[in-house]
Every structure is written in C-alpha cells, then in structure tokens.
C-alpha cells in the first residue's frame, strides 16, 4: 500500500494560488458531468474559505 505524501501545515501564497486555480479550472471543465462539476465547485469554495 502506498503512503500518502503529507501536506505541509503552512502553505505559501503561491501554493494557495495554485490550489485555487486548479480547483477553479476543474470546476469549469465542461467535459465532466454536472454533479462532478458541482462537487469541484464546492471544493473550490471550501479552499477559498480556508
């Protein structure tokens, strides 16, 4: 079984910007189902509030 890479507890501004860009880009992808896009949009909103 593979071990997961532990995420750092403190993110740099660039790391957060990259996470947000990736989440927004995935939520705007029309090639996935509407339910998956809604899930990705919720994840994007959660990242923004953190």
Distances in whole angstroms, Cα of residue 24 to Cα of each of 6, 8, 27, 43: 23, 22, 5, 9
What pLDDT, on the 0 to 100 scale, is given for residue 1? Answer: 66
The torsion angles phi and psi of 42, rounded to 5 degrees, stand at -65, -40
Residue 8: which pLDDT band, with cuts at 50, 70 and 90? low
What pLDDT digit, counting tens, does each position of 12-49 carry? 889 888 888 888 888 888 888 888 888 888 888 887 78
Higher pLDDT, residue 8 or 29: 29
Q: What is the pTM assigned to this prediction?
A: 0.59
């Amino acid at each position: 079984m593979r071990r997961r890479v532990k995420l750092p507890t403190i993110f740099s501004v660039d790391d957060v910007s990259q996470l947000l860009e990736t989440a927004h880009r995935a939520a705007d992808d029309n090639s996935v189902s509407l339910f998956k896009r809604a899930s990705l949009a919720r994840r994007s909103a959660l990242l923004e509030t953190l």
